[in-house]
């Protein structure tokens, strides 16, 4: 076990300061989690940004997570490493549970590392139980990054034929690993997903309008109606390092975890249409797996980012109060390909004016809803419309 550490509270790296000399074609994926009642996350956020700048794809799940929800997220995201951040001195309770769940879920191949304030006397016990590395205040950040890359490099891909057979048995691990294989352009030895019957809906809009929170609440509304839901959430990659901070899942974590609410975070990896590479194939995999509804979230989109129109059957454009006027809403591009409109954060001033300007500009009967995701207001009407597409 590596006994290295980093005083992340005081460390402020330069962007791209630490990265391998030659970035991998397919960035390793690490999931970072804060487990339990620890309410302090500044350090792990610094680490997340530093990992991004080092060329990693980072899935951050937010504060107050459970062991169960974290490990189920690791399955869906098919990560190469799980990183646990603890400042609550609960490591001798939490880590055994994390490793027990790892075995129960059949992902023993995923190394689990621990960061936090850990007495040196506990290192041997943590090593014996299977923790791959412990990072405590004192060691330099480059050593942490090197260790994460080393652990990720030790992963061996499963045979595509075995994955295909397990996919047909509705094994969610096989689904997640096939998504990774598609993203990393590995040969699938003739495997092709069967045709499904899912309704595929794109969700797009400018940065900051609340797409992730809206999707989380819409997905849960559909789940309460007994529908199986999958989400593909795309975040931008760094043009400098190639890494990405994939934060959309943070809005969608559920405890206890829900097998029929599948969330997969993808990075754009240089795509310029708001999507990720081979996004259509990922949607086809989810469709063939048997989900009823698939929601595809784009990166924060501009007027010309309408690639989602070629992947999904319908597109919801999410706006917010004071997002524009009738001339802005009349422009070509994203407004044209939208099937419906959500004015999110409708509790803010300006919602009435925005709705009036939007309806005036549309000149048609495309639906417009006012929604407040944080208050669970307005979601039922949107879910009714989505279900009407079946």
Q: Are 98 and 61 in contact (CB under 8 A)?
A: no
Q: Are 72 and 31 in contact (CB under 8 A)?
A: no
Q: Which residue has the tokens 């993808």?
A: 266
CATH 3.30.70.1060 is right for the domain spanning 22-153:
no
Task: Please report how the helices 279-289 and 172-183 are oriented relative to each other, as an axis angle in degrees rounded to 10.
Answer: 160
Provide the greatest CA pair distance for the chain: 71
221: phi then psi, degrees, rounded to nearest 5: -65, -40
End-to-end CA, the chain: 52
Q: Are 295 and 231 in contact (CB under 8 A)?
A: yes
CA distance 216 to 210: 10
pLDDT digits (tens), the chain, 390 positions: 444 433 333 334 444 444 555 666 789 999 999 998 777 788 889 899 999 999 999 999 988 899 999 999 999 999 999 999 998 789 999 999 999 999 999 999 999 999 988 999 999 999 999 999 999 877 789 999 999 999 999 999 899 999 999 999 999 999 999 999 999 999 998 999 999 999 999 999 999 999 999 999 999 999 999 999 999 999 999 988 999 999 999 888 877 899 999 999 999 988 878 899 999 999 999 999 999 999 999 998 776 677 898 999 999 999 999 876 655 676 657 888 999 999 999 999 999 999 999 999 898 899 999 999 999 999 999 999 999 999
pTM reported for the whole predicted model:
0.92
CA distance 262 to 163: 18
Q: Are 209 and 248 in contact (CB under 8 A)?
A: no
For the chain, residues classed under CATH 3.40.50.280 are 22-153
Assigned fold of 199-388 = Rossmann fold (3.40.50)
CA distance 273 to 211: 17
Q: In what order do the strands lie in the sheet with 81-86?
A: 2-3, 133-135, 112-116, 81-86, 29-34, 57-60, 244-246
For the chain, residues classed under CATH 3.40.50.300 are 199-388
Q: Give the CB-side neighbour count of residue 251, counting CA atoms within 13 A.
A: 20
């Amino acid at each position: 076990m590596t006994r290295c550490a980093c005083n992340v509270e005081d460390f402020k790296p330069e962007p791209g300061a630490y990265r391998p000399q030659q970035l991998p074609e397919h960035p390793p994926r690490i999931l970072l989690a804060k487990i339990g009642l620890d309410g302090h996350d500044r350090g792990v956020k610094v680490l997340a940004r530093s990992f991004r700048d080092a060329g990693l794809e980072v899935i951050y799940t937010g504060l107050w997570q459970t062991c169960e929800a974290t490990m189920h997220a690791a399955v869906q995201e098919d990560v190469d490493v799980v990183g646990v951040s603890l400042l609550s001195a609960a490591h001798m309770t939490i880590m055994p549970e994390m490793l027990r769940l790892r075995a129960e879920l059949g992902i023993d191949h995923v190394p689990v590392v621990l960061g936090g304030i850990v007495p040196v006397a506990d290192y041997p016990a943590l090593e014996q139980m299977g923790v791959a590395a412990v990072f405590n205040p004192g060691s330099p950040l480059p050593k942490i990054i090197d260790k994460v890359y080393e652990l990720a490099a030790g992963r061996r891909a499963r045979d595509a034929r075995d994955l295909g057979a397990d996919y047909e048995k509705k094994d969610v691990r096989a689904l997640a690993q096939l998504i990774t294989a598609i993203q990393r352009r590995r040969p699938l030895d003739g495997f092709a997903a069967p045709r499904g019957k899912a309704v595929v809906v794109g969700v797009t809009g400018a940065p900051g309008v609340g797409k992730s929170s809206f999707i989380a609440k819409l997905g849960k509304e559909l789940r309460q109606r007994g529908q199986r839901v999958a989400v593909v959430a795309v975040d931008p990659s760094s043009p400098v390092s190639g890494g990405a901070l994939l934060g959309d899942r943070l809005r969608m974590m559920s405890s206890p975890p829900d097998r029929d609410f599948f969330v997969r975070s993808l990075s754009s990896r240089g795509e310029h249409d708001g999507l990720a590479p081979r996004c259509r194939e990922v949607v086809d995999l989810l469709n063939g797996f048997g989900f009823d509804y698939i929601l595809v979230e784009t990166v924060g989109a501009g007027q010309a980012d309408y690639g989602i129109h070629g992947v999904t059957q319908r597109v919801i454009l999410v706006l917010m109060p004071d997002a524009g006027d009738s001339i802005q809403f009349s422009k070509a591009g994203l407004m044209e390909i939208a099937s419906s409109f959500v004015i999110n954060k409708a509790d803010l001033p300006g919602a009435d004016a925005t709705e009036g300007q939007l309806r005036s500009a549309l000149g048609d009967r495309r639906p417009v809803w006012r929604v407040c995701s944080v208050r669970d207001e307005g979601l039922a009407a949107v879910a009714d419309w989505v279900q009407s597409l079946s």
